[in-house]
Structure formats: C-alpha cells, structure tokens
C-alpha cells in the first residue's frame, strides 16, 4: 500500500489545486483553491475557456461579480470530481473589511446555490485577520461554513476556535520558510525535519489545544514543502496537499504511522487561553514570523487577484 493510501487511514486528504483534471487520480475528499491557483489554472489551455465562458455569459456585470463567476465556475467543476467540499476564497484585498468580506461571501454562496450546489459543500476562505475572523463568525451563524487561511500563529487559531469556525488552514511550509531564512547558513535541514519542523510544531500545538478543550473547529495543515512535513502530521483532521506532493506520496511505499492522536491530546496538561481584540492584536504583533507571513500572504494573494482582474477585463472587451 502506498503512502497516500496509508495516510488516508488517519487523515482526510484534500487536494490543493485549481487543476481539477488532475484530481481524480488521487481521490481526495475535498479540494482547496486560492487566487494564485486559479490564476495559474486559467492561463493553461485546458482551462482558459472556463474564464471566457463565465465572462461572456455575464458580460456587463461589475468586475467583482465577474471574478466570483469565474471562481464559482472552477469550484463547480471541482465538485464534479470530489465527493466533499471545495474552498473558494474571498478577495484578499478585503482582509481588513469585515462587512465587505461578508457581502462577498454572500455573493459566492448565492452563485453556488443558484447553480444547484448546497452551501454545505462550500467553504468560504477568509484570511485570519481579526476582521476576517469576525466576518467568518457572522457567516457561521448563518450556516455558511468558513475556512480561515493564512494562519500562522496560535492566537489566530484560538480565536478561530472560540468563534466557531468550521475549519482552519495553518500554513506549515511558509512557517518553515521563515525560520529557514532567519537561520541562514546555520540552518540544519536534518535536525529541523519531521516533528522538529517549526511549521509542523505549530500545527501540533493547535491540534492538541483543540482536542484537549473539545473545540470542534477542524485543523487542516496546508502549504507543504515536502512529504516529510505531511507525514509528520499524519492523524491531523485534514491535510491539503499539492498534486506534486500527492504524486510523491502515491509513488512511495514506506510505512506511515499516526503522529497526532485525539486521546493523547486530551490527557495533556494544557491551559485554556482566551483572547479579546486587544490581546489578539498584541500576541500577533509579538510573533514576528506570523506578523510578517500574514502581511506577505495577503499582499501576494492581492497581487494575483489583480492579475486575475486584468485577465477578466481583457476577456470582457
């Protein structure tokens, strides 16, 4: 049995891609997308027609509405392949605007439901800023399920759990990138691998806290750089994995054993933590890695969102 099949015995495997034609061979339950993945996909010959068709069918609509039509079109295609849920992201440029994020989420869900897709099969992705978490809190109260992304710190996870968010996506690889860059020539790849990887350690801390205190928010490790990071989180609720790494797991036969366990977490001597807005902002500010990677992630997604805007405008002329 290959490593991908073994991993599925302990963890729900999710595909992190806009390239839905690759999905079937890995049989993931869910799929996640983001502005960068959709931008990459629409520039490929196999998918360019989806953008063209969405724009032509809604010519004259405001640009944000056209963007949402394209995102939902990809989401619907993905849901034809996976049996579970798709994550569709709210524009990163709204990351500090609670009301606008809620409005955009409403529009995305309305488009899915108009196409016959029940809201239970959609996760609205929002950046885990204070404003984004409050938007998601309100959406969850309406039965719109959310995936809080760009999550790099324990305080973000704690507030998401308290807010009743359906799922969070801690970014393993980007945490690893930051610490590796900071260490420079002194970085020891072997010593910092597996359970010692700083990105892995972040997810383990969050997972154990959630399970210890009965927090129902699902933990989905994301942004992996290698299969070692993935296997070190076997047992996590979900892991969202790029097609390249899914392929590597499928090609490997070494044994996979669970690294995370609910019962073990429940027996740990952990202390409850609570944040209000002020203490959350201070804790996030006090974590240089999380502060930098959250800001950088929003900027990078915003750049790709603007590029997608440009492609849609060109197609609508």
List of domains in the chain: 3-316 (3.20.20.70)
- Residue range 261-295, pLDDT digits in tens: 999 999 999 999 999 999 999 999 999 999 999 99
CB 29 within 8 A of CB 13: yes
Task: Give 99's contacts (C-beta < 8 A, 6+ positions apart).
Answer: 135
Angle (CA) 230-233-235 rounded to 5° is: 120
Q: Which residues pair with 149 in a beta bridge?
A: 127
pLDDT score at 295 = 98
Cα 149 to the chain's mean position, in Å?
A: 5
> Rounded mean pLDDT of the chain?
97
- CA separation (Å) from 23 to 79, 110, 196, 213, 285? 10, 25, 31, 35, 38
Q: Decide if pLDDT at 235 tops 90.
A: yes
79-110 b/e with 16+ CB inside 10 Å = b?
A: bebbeebbbbbbbbbbbebbebbbebbebbbe
Q: Decide if pLDDT at 207 tops 90.
A: yes
- Residue range 86-101, pLDDT digits in tens: 999 999 999 999 999 9
- Residue range 145-204, pLDDT digits in tens: 999 999 999 999 999 999 999 999 999 999 999 999 999 999 999 999 999 999 999 999
Average pLDDT, integer, range 31-49: 93
| Weakest mean pLDDT among 37-51, 116-130, 191-205 | 37-51
For the CA atoms of the chain, what is the radius of gyration?
19
Phi/psi-derived region of residue 35, left when phi > 0, alpha when psi is between -120 and 50, beta in every other case: alpha
Copy the structure tokens of residue 203. Answer: 């997810």
CB 70 within 8 A of CB 276: no
pLDDT score at 289 = 98
Copy the structure tokens of residue 212. Answer: 């210890």
Q: Decide if pLDDT at 35 tops 90.
A: no
307 is catalytic: no
The active-site residue out of 8, 125, 211, 212 is 125
| Distance between CA atoms of residues 75 and 23, nearest Å | 13
């Amino acid at each position: 049995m290959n490593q991908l099949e073994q991993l599925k015995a302990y963890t729900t495997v999710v595909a992190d891609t806009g390239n839905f034609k690759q999905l079937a061979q890995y049989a993931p339950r869910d799929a996640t997308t983001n502005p960068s993945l959709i931008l990459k996909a629409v520039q490929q010959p196999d998918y360019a027609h989806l953008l063209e068709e969405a724009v032509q069918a809604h010519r004259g609509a405001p640009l944000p509405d056209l963007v949402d039509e394209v995102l939902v079109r990809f989401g619907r295609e993905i849901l034809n392949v996976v049996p579970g849920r798709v994550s569709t992201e709210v524009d990163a440029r709204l990351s500090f605007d609670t009301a606008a994020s809620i409005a955009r989420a409403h529009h995305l869900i309305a488009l899915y439901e108009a196409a016959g897709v029940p809201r239970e099969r959609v996760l609205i992705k929002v950046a885990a800023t204070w404003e984004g978490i409050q938007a998601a809190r309100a959406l969850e109260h309406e039965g719109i399920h959310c995936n809080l992304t760009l999550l790099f710190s324990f305080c973000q996870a704690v507030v998401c759990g308290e807010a009743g968010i359906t799922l969070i996506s801690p970014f393993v690889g980007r945490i690893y990138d930051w610490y590796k860059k900071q260490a420079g020539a002194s970085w020891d790849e072997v010593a910092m691998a597996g359970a010692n990887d700083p990105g892995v350690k972040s997810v383990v801390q969050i997972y154990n806290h959630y399970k210890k205190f009965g927090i129902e928010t699902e933990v989905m490790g994301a942004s992996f750089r290698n299969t070692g990071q993935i296997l070190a989180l076997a047992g996590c609720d979900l892991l969202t994995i790029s097609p390249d790494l899914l392929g590597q797991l499928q090609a490997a036969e070494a044994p996979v054993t669970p690294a995370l366990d609910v019962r073990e977490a429940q027996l740990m001597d952990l202390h409850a933590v609570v944040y209000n807005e002020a203490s959350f902002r201070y804790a996030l500010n006090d974590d240089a890695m999380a502060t930098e990677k959250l800001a950088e992630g929003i900027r990078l997604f915003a750049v790709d969102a603007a590029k997608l805007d440009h492609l849609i405008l060109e197609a609508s002329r």
